[in-house]
Chains A and B, each alone.
Chain A
Amino acid sequence: MLKTLIRIRLAAMKETVMRRNTGLKRRGGRGMRILIGLAFAYLALCLLMLIGLLCYALAAPLAGAGLGWLYHAVAGLIAVSFCFMGSVFLAQSQIFDARDNELLLSMPIPPRLIVASRLLSFLLLNYLYTAIVMVPAAVVYAVQLSPGPMFYVGYALGFLLLPMLSTALTCVIGWLITLLIARMRHKNLVTGLAMIVFFFAFMALYMNLQNYALALLQNGQEIAAVFERVMPPFYSFGMAAEGSVLHLLLTAVWCLAPLALVYALLSRSFQRLATTNRGAAKVKYVAREMHVASPRAALLRKELGRVFGFPLYLFNCAIGGPMAVILGVVVLVQGPGILSALSAAYGLTGAGFLVPFVIIVLCFCAICTCTSAPSISLEGPYLWILRANPVRERDLFFAKVMANVLIGGVPLAVASALFVIALPMSAADAALVVVLPLLAQIVMAYLGLCLNLLMPRLDWVSQAAVVKQSGSVMAAVFGGMGMIAFPALLYAFLLNSVMSFQVFGLLVGIVLALGCLLMHLYLGRGGVRRFRAL
């Protein structure tokens, strides 16, 4: 029975990832799947490379200082943190609020088997996350230091054990988060903000890995003492990888015991957890004067409500705004030095590259806000409301584009103003810093909507899959990257000797505005036809 349950979970996960999530018809689906596969492979390669380089810098010095175990302990800690951040928000939807909970509970299946199948599918996901960190760490260590066979035994068993610890932690914290957020009034917004905070925490960790590595090399002994005292599971794992059988047993205890405890607790209380209404206290309706709006304004409000009412949507398609504002504040606080350092880091040492660099950064934030790209697909089961009521397609398109422009454009305008205040630039440069990212945002809004009309996916099972994996979302992001990369490369390699950046920026602005106009015209004719044919 357990095997069947696990097979169902895995099939569901496979379905979520693979099943025509792109919205393309069969003919185009294969190409898009290859493209998505390549994008994921690229991402995994980048992560593997980064971790590999970090490990390369740490392995020999730490081993030389007699702290080889610390190297493994740090790898284990990063892997567990990675698992935790990657899956803590999945605990709610995959375990406590899974859609098939009540169906399975109604069947003659012991709750402990349902819990076991949930935990095992989580564990598999965590093995994937762990592999991204621990495989390059092991390869680097093996190549650099040629350890004995006990390293391989200890490390391999540790690799099998550590994800159990992260699975237990994820379940407990995920359950607490679910419980806490469910009692809040604006739980969707809070969840969205929590996801964004986690994202930035993850980014901060990612960006500072080199600094942490340096600190580790400089203060190895102190950090080792902290690990030994405060983080015994990782200390034990480190020692196990160095060949200690006793610590291998201790690692097993540290990892198996929490998982067994979580399994026992969840098994006993699963039925209650899965069927208890954890919702916020019931709000009694009190009649108030109603706000009257035009159909356009009502549709716009609906679009904004959907974005802010669906944390994953906010997190996946509207991260650019907060990103831009945070960057603007950082630049304002730290002064122009930070951008000079950044542009020097990317090889752009000339002062003339500062403004283009700022514009590229802000335009990148603009392409990270594309709420329009899955917006038609998200209508899915609700499409009848727009179809049965007297809604003009143009009003609907306006609402979808405008919602995107407001969600991305307002923070971008704030960020641009902060950059203009913080950095020394001419009036023409300042105008470009303000106008070009805003135009890029408008292009993204139009592009996302046009692409979603061309690649709709209305028969979705999970909204999350539409937001995270639709072909239109991916195509919009890739298109946006092209929108940044093409003019940047054109100017850097061809036109910088022919015209000033201000003139080039003006030309780019005109091209972007023309692009918006063309897409606007398309939406008015072809777009309307496509929408009616959905």
Chain B
Amino acid sequence: MLKIEHLTKAYGSKKAVDDLTLHIAPGEIYGFIGHNGAGKTTTIKSCCGILQFDGGEIFVDGVSVRENPLECKRRIAYIPDNPDLYDFMSGVKYLNFVADIFGVPQRDRQERIARYAGMFGLTEDLAQPVSAYSHGMKQKLAIISALIHEPRLMLLDEPFVGLDPKATHTLKGLMRELCDRGGAIFFSTHVLEVAEKLCDKIAIIKNGRLIASGTTDEVKGDESLEQVFLELVEDDHA
């Protein structure tokens, strides 16, 4: 579903991502963990065509992000860590805007907006301007807008930040549901307990380089993910 081959991206002389290779198969929830500034966001932004990268290749369903970004974007959904949404629009207008961009038929968009807004408890607030939303409400709106075109691949950057426990639970359920339908999810998080329980596979990145990857059981072995992560980070510091 998502193939990252030798991805390299530098900001000036600093390599944010260095020769990173990862394969995410259909049906997989792939967790991406690392310290602040490790290169997680840069990797995710490169995968969804926001950032132009310096080396390597990224394929979504076999389509090159570099060669055919629009076709890739039609298949994916991206949620940033801090979703700034058009604050001059109301929630429902923003969702309708995204549905227009993806060409979602009218009946489908109405049904999906009603379903997802209901699940996240946002229905009553959809007529409010986005500027009146709290951080959590914006996050919920961004999640609904990401689901509106039924993407095959979701790229999520810290998706649980700002969500209340019920919304977090709902999102986890939706992520599993999407993967059960043959989709895939690649997401970054600092909440290692969530990653440990939710992810089929995990990759750990440090200073732009992949230092561990594999199934959750392979990566953590007999220890907790937190212990493994701290050991790997400290090993590198030593």
B70 close to A390 (CB less than 8 A): yes
A286–B125 Cα gap in the complex (Å)? Answer: 10
A295–B149 Cα gap in the complex (Å)? Answer: 14
Distance to closest chain A CB from B47 (angstroms): 10
B123 close to A285 (CB less than 8 A): yes
Which A97-116 residues have a C-beta within 8 angstroms of B?
none
Q: Are A306 and B88 CB-contacts (below 8 A) given A285-B125, A289-B106, A533-B52?
A: yes
A385–B94 Cα gap in the complex (Å)? Answer: 11
A188 close to B52 (CB less than 8 A): no
Distance to closest chain B CB from A503 (angstroms): 46
A483–B113 Cα gap in the complex (Å)? Answer: 48
For residue B96, which residue of chain A has the nearest CB? A290
For residue B146, which residue of chain A has the nearest CB? A388
List chain A residues, Cβ under 8 A from B74.
390
List chain A residues, Cβ under 8 A from B93.
305
List chain B residues, Cβ under 8 A from A389.
73, 98, 101-102
A223–B167 Cα gap in the complex (Å)? Answer: 69
B73 close to A310 (CB less than 8 A): no
A384–B127 Cα gap in the complex (Å)? Answer: 23
List chain B residues, Cβ under 8 A from A297.
100
Report which residue of A295, A299, A309, A385 has the largest number of chain B beta carbons within 10 angstroms of its beta carbon.
Answer: A385
**B59: interface (CB < 8 Å):** no
A45–B124 Cα gap in the complex (Å)? Answer: 55
**B85: interface (CB < 8 Å):** yes
Which B94-123 residues have a C-beta within 8 angstroms of A?
96-103, 105-106, 109-110, 113-114, 123
**A532: interface (CB < 8 Å):** yes
A305 close to B52 (CB less than 8 A): no
Comparing A6-14, A120-128, A245-253, A276-284, the segment that makes contact with chain B is: A276-284
List chain B residues, Cβ under 8 A from A290.
92, 96, 99, 106, 109-110, 113
In the complex, which of the residues B70, B86, B91, B103 contacts A306, with contact meaning CB atoms closer than 8 Å?
Answer: B86
A306–B74 Cα gap in the complex (Å)? Answer: 25
Q: How large is the interface on B (under 10, 10 to 19, 20 to 34, 35 or more residues)?
A: 35 or more
B126 close to A302 (CB less than 8 A): no
**B50: interface (CB < 8 Å):** yes
Label chain B's interface by main secondary structure: helix
**A207: interface (CB < 8 Å):** no
Q: Mark A290-307, 1 if CB is under 8 A from B, else 0.
A: 111111011101100110
**B194: interface (CB < 8 Å):** no
Which A72-96 residues have a C-beta within 8 angstroms of B?
none
A309 close to B88 (CB less than 8 A): yes
**B84: interface (CB < 8 Å):** yes
Distance to closest chain B CB from A31 (angstroms): 25
Q: Are A188 and B88 CB-contacts (below 8 A) given A293-B100, A388-B73?
A: yes
A291–B99 Cα gap in the complex (Å)? Answer: 10
In the complex, which of the residues A382, A387, A388 contacts B86, with contact meaning CB atoms closer than 8 Å?
Answer: A382
Report which residue of B80, B85, B97, B132 has the largest number of chain A beta carbons within 10 angstroms of its beta carbon.
Answer: B97
For residue A313, which residue of chain B has the nearest CB? B88
A286–B96 Cα gap in the complex (Å)? Answer: 14
Distance to closest chain B CB from A463 (angstroms): 10
Residues on A lying within 8 angstroms of B by beta carbon are: 188, 279, 282-287, 289-295, 297-299, 301-302, 305-306, 309-310, 381-382, 384-385, 387-392, 532-533
Residues on B lying within 8 angstroms of A by beta carbon are: 45, 48-50, 52, 70-71, 73-74, 76-78, 80, 84-86, 88-89, 91-93, 96-103, 105-106, 109-110, 113-114, 123-128, 132
Q: Other than the known A290-B113, A391-B101, what 20 A-B pairs have Cβ atoms closer than 8 Å? A: A284-B124, A285-B128, A287-B114, A289-B110, A292-B99, A292-B106, A295-B101, A302-B97, A305-B86, A310-B88, A382-B84, A384-B78, A384-B80, A384-B84, A387-B49, A387-B50, A388-B73, A389-B101, A390-B70, A390-B74
